[in-house]
Amino acid sequence: MKASLLDDATRAQLAVRAQQLTAEARPAWGRMGVVAMLNHLNLSFQSASGELRLQRALIGRVFGAVAKRVFVRGDAAFMKNGPTDPQLLQEEGGFEPALAELLARLDRFAQPGGIGEHPHAFFGALTREEWGWLMAKHVDHHLRQFGV
């Protein structure tokens, strides 16, 4: 069975792992520092909720449906050093506020309003269940990137 952020145990387990991060954590791959990674996840949650409306990328319009079958509905892991939507990059800010925001967003995700009804910028239209699978996989990917 796939992990989903709609599942209380999955959210709790990811929150425990996130709390193991430190401001000095270094990535095993990629160029993002720990604050940039936390900001990236927070922006991703803002996108999932509809607070942040991202432009739909042309590459997503062309390949999004196929990629959705592989990465959202399937069991394929995200690639190390894969491309990141520039709209989801933000370097500035402090570690503690970014971590606190991530923990709060994890808590709110499964609550009413935690998931919007707009398309994902790359994958296109997602059901509530697909958002749950995608976001669990995304958070796990970045926590593994930082060794937690």
How far is residue 71's CA from residue 137's CA, in Å, rounded to a whole number? 9
Does pLDDT of 125 surpass 80? yes
Report in angstroms the alpha-carbon separations of 53 from 46, 88, 134. 8, 11, 17
Number of other CB atoms surrounding residue 10 within 10 Å: 21
Q: List the domain boundaries for the chain.
A: 8-145
Structure-token match 């599942």, residue found: 7
SS3 category, 99: helix
For 42-91, write each residue's pLDDT tens digit: 999 999 999 998 888 787 778 878 888 888 877 777 878 787 777 688 87
How far is residue 23's CA from residue 78's CA, in Å, rounded to a whole number? 24
pLDDT at 1: 45
When comparing pLDDT for 131 and 85, which is higher?
Answer: 131
Average pLDDT over the chain reads 91
- Longest C-alpha distance within the chain, in Å? 39
What's the sign of the alpha-carbon dihedral 129, 87, 63, 3? negative
124 φ, ψ (degrees, to nearest 5)? 85, -150
Does pLDDT of 117 surpass 70? yes
120 φ, ψ (degrees, to nearest 5)? -70, 145
